[in-house]
Amino acid sequence: METIYTIEWMKQAARQARAEGRIVGFVPTMGALHEGHLSLVRAAQEQCSPVVVSIFVNPAQFGPTEDLSKYPRPIERDRALLEDLRVDCLFAPATAEIYPTDFRTYVEVGGLGDRYEGRSRPGHFRGVATVVLKLFEIVQPQLAYFGRKDAQQARIVRQMASDLNLDTEIVVCPIVREADGLAMSSRNAYLNAEDRGHATVLYRALDAARNKILGDERDATHLVSRMREVLKSEPGAEPDYVELVDADTFEPVTLLRRECLAVMAVRVGGVRLLDNMLITQREGGGFEVVL
């Protein structure tokens, strides 16, 4: 595996791959890799060669109350995981490489980024969109892979790519879960043993809503109430938001339709966890529910 640290070096490698007619696949990460990230790498390897994985802890997406310095950075462990998967290239730039001292330009996606995660973390999606656009310009991938766990982020990146006529296709891959249902996340490392047990309430709340949908419940108010009821039963859980939204617009829905998401952010032991569930209407009626 080749490890690249500079923008110019990465651009040269990408230009050479594309000149050879190869399909460049890209998995952007902030490191602290887990099976969710690795599933994106495997998906990329099925369609692309070379596959580039970036590790860059992006300061622009951290708010003033979020401790950037405490974000885990196990770079040698991450490198070993990527080498085991035979990843072609690791792009690991320094902060000053991405954001030089005279940096002034930021990207905002209107409408989609000012609710839910955007409301709870002002400026977060501006930082995400900015660094993703920069990385796309540097790596020049034909395909880029994101996980559905961060559904709002994936939707915003897809909108940005469409609005700016980028050559990169956004591929959104399924959530990867632990055996007890907890969605894999780098934030899970912050949970102590007791809170780790409490954290399964997110999956249990979504599963309770799924059971109601499979029992023909279509009213979003009833489904949200059921999720909140389950969350309330766990003393260690503090919901930030729980909502049923249109998967395209992220506007709240009153009745299930077309494609929806049940989205939630819940604090457990001070750790803010995200999860969601995809609800798709089948032709001829009925809904498919994917956790």
pLDDT tens for 256-282 read 989 999 999 999 999 999 999 999 999
CA distance 222 to 114: 25
Is the pLDDT at 90 greater than 90, yes or no?
yes
The residue from 34, 37, 124, 222 that is catalytic is 37
Q: Is 222 known to be catalytic?
A: no
Report the topology of domain 186-281.
Answer: Pantoate--beta-alanine Ligase; Chain: A,domain 2 (3.30.1300)
DSSP characters over 186-198: GGGGG--HHHHHH
CA-nearest of 151, 135, 148 to 249 is 151
What are the residue ranges of helices labelled H in the chain? 7-19, 35-47, 75-84, 95-98, 117-120, 124-139, 151-163, 193-198, 201-214, 220-232
List the chain domain ranges. Answer: 2-173, 186-281
Looking at residue 251, its pLDDT comes to 96
Q: Which two tokens stand for residue 10?
A: 């990465």
Mean pLDDT of 172-186: 97
Residue 188's pLDDT band (cuts 50, 70, 90): very high
Mean of the per-residue pLDDT values for the chain? 96
Q: Pairing state of beta strands 169-173 and 237-246?
A: unpaired
**Identity of the residue numbered 269:** G
CATH number of this structure's domain 2-173, picked from the four choices 3.30.70.1380, 3.40.50.300, 3.40.50.620, 1.10.10.60: 3.40.50.620
Whether the domain at 2-173 and the domain at 186-281 fall into the same CATH topology: no
What CA–CA distance (Å, rounded) separates 68 from 55? 15
Give the three-class secondary structure for 273: strand
